[in-house]
Structure 1
């Protein structure tokens, strides 16, 4: 189901709690809401649609990937950039890493690991910030 985008900063600053198997239906809401905003959005976290669970979706090439309880396990090659956000207006400066490794559970609740670079890595880092209540 397409959900409304949260723009309340105080809500967005609340760190998310770990997701459980009971939260798997959240993947559908993330997919539907991302698809509804695909012309100007490449990722979102569950708290952006009102659910304070550690779940994100990232458009990694043609495939939107849902990640439950994502955690960075490595990061390298820091750089400065500017990012926008569907929940906020304008762009803001932030520090990102060119290469990351992230571990997460997929929609079948299987442990996965991805190594991402460049823009795909930036998307996941932005959404992980949301899970942690960090506003760029």
Structure 2
């Protein structure tokens, strides 16, 4: 189910709770995926707090997988290198803002069955994931 986009800075500034292996959190992930898909023309990633749920769940368009939307539960960056300056926009915020991202990151996360994975990402996909993990951490760019 598509949900409304959260724009409250005080809400978005709060770190999100870890997701749990529950049907409720999987339903949040499904809503997040549906909402991202509905905004796909102007958005490539979302975190659960962007739909009003303070959980560490992100979804992003993965061009390396043919544009499929990938969902991660409890993502955490474990390594990063190749820092660069960039500007990003966000559905929850107005305009673009400057930030520092990394060209390559490694992420530990759980899939929808809560099996743990560790993977490396580069380029634009890495940038999207960093933006969404910032949301989970309550970081506003």
Instruction: Give the TM-score taking structure 1 as reference length.
Output: 0.98
Structure 2 partner of 1:45: 47
1:17 maps onto 2:12 in alignment? no
Deviations 1:15-50 (A, max 9, x none): 101110121221210110001100000000000000
Deviations 1:62-112 (A, max 9, x none): 111100000111100000000000101100000000000111000111111
**Structure 1 spans left out of the alignment, 5+ residues:** none
Aligned residue pairs total 136
Q: Segments of 4+ in structure 1 off by > 6 A?
A: none
Distance 1:47 1:92 in 2: 19
Choose the corresponding residue for 1:65, options 64, 70, 75.
70
Structure 1 partner of 2:32: 30
Distance 1:64 1:113 in 2: 18
Residue 85 of structure 2 aligns to a residue whose secondary structure is strand
Distance 1:114 1:43 in 2: 18
Q: Superposition RMSD on alpha carbons, in Å?
A: 0.7
Q: Which moves more between the two structures, 89-98 or 110-119?
A: 110-119
For residues 1-136 of structure 1, the aligned pairs below 5 Å read 1-22=1-22, 23-61=25-63, 62-136=67-141
